């Protein structure tokens, strides 16, 4: 009954959104876009390449990007009379600081792997090489961005959550922006009521969002604002509906949009780009999580009143889940035996009052504890996070103390290429300070599976998703025109890294 009610809510929400869209004249025109390719290229001695473009579309080149041997565009030039000679040359590094305006674009769901492919092939040439950013777990937009903006704890994982009294209706919360305190830090974001139609018509709404970002940036710059922050939801729609092809379209348009912004500001802009998390680039099969828990004997509902009651938010279509219950140990033990569920975790308080996070897989169970010395991972049976070899290697390097604790920094560095990157710290953080309404059990789903709204899976056949502890989902990216960022970092550290690179996010 609960899933039917939520399905009807979603259908109504979609109808309302479509009506609002019609009243607003649909998505409208896209932004002015830079030419997709150069009119001609010239190879110069020393490895520099001149890329000449016909920006005014009259068949003659009028603008040049000077591409250094490392692939970055450091200089631009304007040929005003189109005689083949540069009339105004601009070294981007020498533009006076007081003339520069900054734009940060947060792209939903764009994976680092594809950004690196595009940069290696010559696109996004105004940016320094992209860096890897590890999203908190669960790998979702709201937890990621409350970490980025430093506003944690957020209400919960997503808009549907148990508030201590009842399961909140996710569609009502979502439409009201009730799980997005980070919105206060964004100068542009699409009205949440319109997200549904953005998923149903992705390219048009992506164009709409890019145009609105250009308009908001221009208006704020006219008022003397140095910094504009924008969040784009439609890149998630592109990837979810079209997989790799959707993200490829999104990145080509993004590159052309950025080139256009540099051209029209005469190099007086510094754009930074980032994603909230990655995408696994795999189609997935839906798991009826609430139904499976009912078959196991649990009572699924909107309130927790008796032993065996569970509240299961089923809102987005993702590879992670949250379960609220008074029987966390039992639910976590049983849920991993559902097909497609890879790991579960719950928080347990010991007799001494100290917390530990228990991680359960089909082949094992382990316990995570924290102290001033760092984290300790102790397998009780098996090795659900596949950490035993890593811990042993750290022990051999004298980086594990006598009580079994390893420094957070050492564990972070040792697990960057692991199947579950930075999993120990991320699981601990999920239960400690990231959320106001902390789920009792977290679930990480295998790649190739998904949980969430059944109706949404019938409307949007997912070709890529996110949410779990695995690398494809967990690694987003960041890159800036302003300066080089560290090669890899947590989302919680990214804002400070941008600021050190010269992006004035605190202005």
Dihedral angle sign, alpha carbons of residues 274, 276, 278, 279: negative
State in Å, rounded, how far the first CA of the chain is from the last one: 49
CB contact at 8 A, 244 and 251: no
pLDDT at 214: 97
Element (H, E) at 286: strand 285-286
Paired residues of 445 in beta bridges: 341
pLDDT at 9: 52
CB contact at 8 A, 464 and 281: yes
Dihedral angle sign, alpha carbons of residues 347, 355, 408, 431: positive
Give dist(CA 206, CA 148) in Å, integer: 23
Q: For residue 298, what are the CA distances in angstroms to 181, 293, 310, 325? A: 33, 6, 7, 10
pLDDT at 15: 45
**Unique residue bearing structure tokens 């490392």:** 70
Q: How many CA atoms lie within 13 Å of 285's alpha carbon, on the beta-carbon side?
A: 5
Q: For residue 164, what are the CA distances in angstroms to 299, 303, 311? A: 17, 9, 11
CB contact at 8 A, 309 and 298: yes
Q: How many CA atoms lie within 13 Å of 228's alpha carbon, on the beta-carbon side?
A: 25
CB contact at 8 A, 136 and 426: yes
In the chain the domains, ranked by start, together with CATH numbers, are 40-93 (no CATH), 98-149+168-282+468-500 (3.40.720.10), 285-459 (no CATH)
| Cis? peptide before 257, omega within 30° of 0 | no
| Cis? peptide before 12, omega within 30° of 0 | no
Q: What are phi and psi of 391, to 5 degrees?
A: -60, -40
Give dist(CA 71, CA 122) in Å, integer: 6
pTM across the whole model: 0.93
DSSP state of 347: E
pLDDT at 19: 42
Average pLDDT for runs of 10 along the chain of length 507: 46 45 56 94 91 96 96 96 94 96 98 97 97 97 96 92 89 82 94 77 89 97 96 95 95 98 97 97 95 97 95 93 97 97 94 88 95 97 96 97 97 96 98 97 97 80 93 97 97 98 87
Show the beta-strand stretches assigned E in 137-284: 227-232, 269-275
Cα Rg for the chain, rounded, in angstroms? 24
Give dist(CA 124, CA 479) in Å, integer: 9
Give dist(CA 158, CA 160) in Å, integer: 6
pLDDT at 29: 74
DSSP state of 55: T
């Amino acid at each position: 009954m609960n899933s039917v009610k939520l399905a009807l809510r979603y259908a109504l929400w979609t109808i309302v959104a479509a009506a609002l869209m019609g009243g607003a004249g649909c998505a409208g025109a896209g932004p002015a876009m830079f030419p997709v390719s150069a009119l001609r290229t010239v190879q110069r001695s020393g490895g520099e390449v001149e890329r000449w473009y016909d920006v005014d579309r009259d068949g003659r080149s009028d603008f040049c990007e000077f591409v250094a041997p490392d692939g970055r565009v450091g200089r631009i030039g304007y040929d005003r009379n189109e005689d083949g000679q540069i009339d105004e040359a601009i070294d981007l590094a020498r533009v006076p600081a007081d003339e520069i305006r900054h734009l940060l674009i947060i792209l939903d769901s764009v994976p680092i792997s594809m950004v690196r492919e595009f940069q290696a092939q010559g696109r996004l040439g105004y940016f320094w090489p992209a860096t890897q950013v590890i999203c908190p777990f669960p790998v979702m937009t709201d937890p990621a961005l409350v970490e980025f903006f430093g506003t944690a704890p957020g209400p919960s994982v997503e808009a549907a959550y148990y508030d201590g009294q009842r399961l909140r209706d996710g569609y009502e919360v979502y439409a009201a922006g009730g799980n997005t305190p980070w919105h206060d830090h964004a100068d542009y974001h699409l009205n949440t009521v319109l997200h549904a139609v953005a998923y149903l018509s992705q390219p048009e709404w992506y164009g709409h969002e890019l145009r609105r970002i250009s308009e908001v940036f221009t208006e704020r710059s006219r008022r003397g604002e140095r910094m504009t922050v924008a969040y784009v939801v439609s890149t998630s729609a592109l990837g979810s509906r079209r997989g790799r092809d959707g993200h490829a379209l999104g990145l080509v348009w993004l590159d052309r949009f950025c080139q256009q912004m540099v051209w029209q500001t005469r190099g007086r802009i510094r754009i930074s780009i980032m994603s909230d998390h990655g995408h696994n680039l795999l189609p997935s099969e839906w798991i009826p999580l609430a139904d499976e828990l009912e078959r196991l004997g649990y009572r699924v509902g909107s309130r927790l009143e008796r032993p065996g009651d569970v509240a299961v938010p089923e809102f987005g279509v993702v590879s992670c889940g949250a379960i609220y219950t008074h029987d966390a140990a039992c639910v976590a033990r049983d849920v991993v035996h559902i097909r497609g569920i890879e790991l579960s975790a719950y928080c347990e308080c010991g007799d001494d009052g100290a917390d530990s996070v228990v991680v359960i897989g089909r082949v094992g169970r382990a316990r995570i504890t924290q102290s001033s010395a760092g984290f300790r991972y102790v397998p009780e049976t098996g090795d659900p996070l596949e950490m035993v070899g890593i811990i042993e290697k750290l022990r051999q390097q004298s980086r594990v103390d006598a009580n079994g604790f390893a420094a957070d920094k050492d564990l972070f560095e040792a697990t960057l290429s692991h199947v579950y990157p930075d999993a120990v710290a991320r699981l601990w953080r999920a239960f400690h300070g990231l959320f106001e309404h902390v789920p009792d059990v977290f679930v990480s789903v295998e790649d190739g599976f998904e949980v969430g709204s059944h109706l949404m899976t019938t409307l949007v056949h997912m070709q890529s998703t996110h949410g779990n502890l695995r690398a494809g989902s967990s690694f987003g990216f960041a890159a800036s025109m302003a300066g080089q960022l560290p090669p890899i970092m947590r989302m919680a550290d990214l804002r400070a890294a941008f600021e050190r690179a010269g992006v004035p996010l605190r202005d």
